[in-house]
Amino acid sequence: MGQRDATDVLAISFSANDYVGHAQGPDSPEVREMSIQTDVVFGKLFHFLDSTVGMGNVLVVMTGDHGVAPLPEVEVQRKMPGGRMPPGTVQKTVQAALTEKYGEGKWLLTASENPLYFNLDLIRQKNLDRAQVERVAADAARAIPHVFRVYTRELLASGVAMEDQVGRRVMNGFYGPRSADVYVLLEPYWLSQAGGTTHSTTFSYDAHVPVIFMGPGIRPGRFYQQIAVNDIAPTLATYLDVETPSGSVGRCLAEIFSE
Ligand SMILES: [Zn+2]
């Protein structure tokens, strides 16, 4: 790579950090140590690149694919909101509500807690209205303490849920052919798992990630305005003077260019 008269793109994912983070939480000594060791690996990589193609010929872009919630136990110590909902609470509550309303049956297909996937065969067999089943499930989920919001497929498909950033982000994650029938969002810093931590909510602690550009033509500095990870692709395309990818959204981060 880097030996021809063309630009090469090398993408590397440092995935091990995610496993340690899930198990120990972002405030743990393990994650701190992992970050220090990742920095050492970066150093080796950059040193190697410098000795082969020269860092003057390399543009580095770093980001994260998500943030994470602190361990709820750490939040409690800080006297901040957060806690654990016993795993299965949402599933059991919704299953019970649908059984009470429509009769016995395995109403939910997956074990996932936040996106709920209905047994569509059962809904067809019983000749029920899918949107009405969604509303019954959503009402049951909304009544659970520490449930923040519940979105039905019907709402998301019609674009009704876009009233604020949380709704907009849930909406952005909605894809008709594959998405869940009901999406349940717990209150900030609440997890429906017995140990460790996770991400995948729309809240800032999950969605806020660094974006770092380093290399020739990049103006040194910190930039505090809100941007999106989606801005990386059009910025790289502009930097390389090539066409912006047809499916890309976002803007070119022109403020980081030094010339
Ligand atoms: Zn993860």
Distance of CA 160 from the midpoint of ligand 1 (Å): 29
Q: Closest by alpha carbon to 25, among 177, 258, 174, 191? A: 191
**What pLDDT band is residue 30 in, cutting at 50, 70 and 90?**
very high
Distance of CA 223 from the midpoint of ligand 1 (Å): 26
**Axis-axis angle for helices 130-142, 89-102 (nearest 10):** 130
Distance of CA 17 from the midpoint of ligand 1 (Å): 9
Distance of CA 9 from the midpoint of ligand 1 (Å): 25
**What pLDDT band is residue 86 in, cutting at 50, 70 and 90?**
very high
**pLDDT over threshold 90, residue 189:** yes
* pLDDT tens digits, one per residue of 192-242: 999 999 998 999 999 999 999 999 999 999 999 999 999 999 999 999 999
Distance of CA 198 from the midpoint of ligand 1 (Å): 6
pTM (2 decimals)? 0.88
Q: Closest by alpha carbon to 200, among 17, 87, 67? A: 67
Judged by average pLDDT, the poorest of 2-6, 45-49, 137-141 is: 2-6
Determine what percent of the chain is predicted with pLDDT higher than 90. 88
pLDDT at 113: 80
Distance of CA 244 from the midpoint of ligand 1 (Å): 29
* Domains, the chain: 16-69+205-256 (no CATH), 83-191 (3.30.1360.150)
